[in-house]
Structure formats: structure tokens, C-alpha cells
Amino acid sequence: MYAHEIAPAPHVSIAIPTPDAAQRCDICGSCYNQATQVNDEPGDYDQCVLCLTKNTAGHPPEHKWTPLGCLPTSPGLFTQVILRVFVSIVGGVAFLAILYGGGLILFSNGIPERVETGRSILISSVAGVLLVIFAVFILEFIGLEIFGLPGFGG
């Protein structure tokens, strides 16, 4: 199999408890109703199949489909996902804080207390972003260079 080919999705059927047991579902939630002969697929079925096909190249499973989406099961990849989400959330909150602090300064009408409040919010949010960025760099340095943990360092 070539790298650009996708292996078929693993179809593991599980029985859904129904009164007549006329419905069978695969691991991604696609259910075949034998009575109506209709295949009902959830809205995220294609994403689930794509997630699980990452596992079918003869390697041990490294991804699991969850209600949050496709999550890696190896510690290194999972750590990368958690760090990416954490930094994204912190960046979004810092962006909103910078907008708020800038708005306070902009609409302060020369009132020194409001200017000082806006200035302190701006300084605090930039300092918070720098703190998170340096914390991630330190964590990656310790994880990769000192302990040699897999998954750190991209």
C-alpha cells in the first residue's frame, strides 16, 4: 500500500439493544437498520472513519474517536494536543484583554484612573502571554533535552 492510499475503515459491528435486534452499528456509529434496509450515519461519520484509518496501517492504535474529536492515545502526541489547545485558549483570552485595555485607554476621556487601569491590563496581558510562551519552551526543553520524552519538540 502506498502512502497516499487510505486503508479501509475498520468496521466493528456491535449490537444495539433494540426490541427486535434489527439494528447493527459499527464503531463510528453508522447503523444499518435491517428492517428498513437503510444505513444511518451520524454527521461526524467521515471524520471518525478518517481518524480510525490512521490506525489501520499495521501499527498499534494511536488515535481514538471521542466526542471531542480524534484524539491521540500516545502520551507524546496527546501532550502536544493539550499544549496546543492551552496556548490557543490563553492567546484568545489575552487578545480580548488587550482589546479591553486598549478600549479603556482609548475611551478614558483623559481620566487618569481609567488610563492607568487600561495600561495595567495591557501590561498584565502581554506579561501573561510571555509567561505562557516561556513556560511551554521550558517544558519542551525539559521534556526533550533532559528526559528525552517522545512527542516533545514537534
Instruction: Classify 12 in phi/psi space as left (phi over 0), alpha (psi -120 to 50) or beta.
Output: beta
Q: Report yes or no on 6 lying in a domain.
A: no
Three-state secondary-structure class, residue 40:
strand
74-111 residue pLDDT tens: 777 788 888 889 999 999 999 999 999 999 999 999 89
Instruction: Assess whether 84 and 60 both reside in one domain.
Output: no
115: containing domain: 75-146
**Euclidean distance between CA atoms 125 and 105, whole angstroms:** 15
**Euclidean distance between CA atoms 77 and 19, whole angstroms:** 42
* CB contact set of 119 (below 8 Å; sequence gap of 6+): 101, 105
Q: Report yes or no on 4 lying in a domain.
A: no
Instruction: Assess whether 132 and 106 both reside in one domain.
Output: yes
Is it the case that residue 56 has pLDDT exceeding 50?
A: yes
Q: What is the mean pLDDT of residues 109-136?
A: 94
2-44 residue pLDDT tens: 444 444 444 444 444 555 455 567 777 777 766 677 777 777 7
